[in-house]
Amino acid sequence: MTFRPKRVGAIFAALAVAGSLVAPLSAQVAYATDEPAAVVQAASSDQVDRVSLEIGATETSRNFNWLSTSDSTSYVQVAVMPEGWQNGDDFPASGELVAYATASMEASELEGWNSCKATVEGLEANTSYVYRVGNDEAWSAAYSFETGDLGDGASFSFMFAGDPQIGASGDAEADTEGWTNTLNTMEAAFPETDFMISLGDQINASAPQTVESEYEGFFAPDALHGITLATNVGNHEVGAKNQHYSYNYNMPNRSNWGAVDATGAASGDYWFTYNGVLFMSLNSNDMNTSEHKAFMKEAIAA
């Protein structure tokens, strides 16, 4: 779906439905510090996991979320992609480091792992970037993403994914393979897509002992490292999972409206703008419509 936006809003809300659909279409946010971490070649990524590239508050920003076993200050580093760089290469020490941010950190519900959240701003239009997250104790691999046309009135496109629901078949490994194939197909068919909205039920998690392996499956596809993600909370993210949703994602402009204990403190309604279009995400696990109404009024007025 391609937009030539007017100054109107687009609203999306997660509804819990069975099956899967794909179509084209807590922690504080931390911003750039005055002193960037040194650009050091990537070490072992064994202590960094579930690296997620996520939608920012505007088209010129991106949020990042990851898990790390390190208790030291962690960062996201972003560089303009050097000529000849390919996925699988090290982070470009000779590249231009254009953005960096210090992550906020809090203990996750996965013992021994911290949830890290960061934001970078000032991205340029039609530019290829390389990024990595972590610190000198453990850096992730280097990944890449591209920006398209940016600015009010510029055209853009996005995809929908409904109910990836890793684990729903009873075989999380098979579901992960299907999710990987789906993302690869989407990326090949729509290579210039600006972002993807996942409409909820990213995992199935019918029992607490399965939730971590299901999140591992959701974040496993390599393609997801280059696709900017915006998630909704589904009904399968609730219950015994409580804070799991909150420590795996980093959505912008999160409100306290819509947050429920069963999906965690960072699961409230949120909004972002992209090229002049307003998107609002509602946590439909909160049945209090007056809260969502209050959130939408605040988002529209912002």
pLDDT in tens, 38-78: 444 444 445 899 999 999 999 999 999 999 999 999 999 99
Residues in the chain: 302
Q: What is the DSSP string of 239-278?
A: GGGTTHHHHH---SS--STT--TTT-TT-S-EEEEETTEE
Bridge-based pairing state of the strands 104-107 and 97-102: unpaired
Q: Is the dihedral of CA 136, 140, 141, 143 positive or negative?
A: negative
H or E segment and range at residue 13:
strand 9-13
Per-residue model confidence as pLDDT tens digits over 78-123: 999 999 999 999 999 866 788 889 999 888 878 889 999 999 999 9
Q: Residue 262 pLDDT > 90, yes or no?
A: no
Q: 300: Cβ–Cβ under 8 A, 6 or more apart, which residues?
A: 9, 278
Per-residue model confidence as pLDDT tens digits over 249-260: 999 999 999 888
Give, rounded to a whole angstrom, the gap between the first and last alpha carbons of the chain: 26
pTM for the whole thing? Answer: 0.84
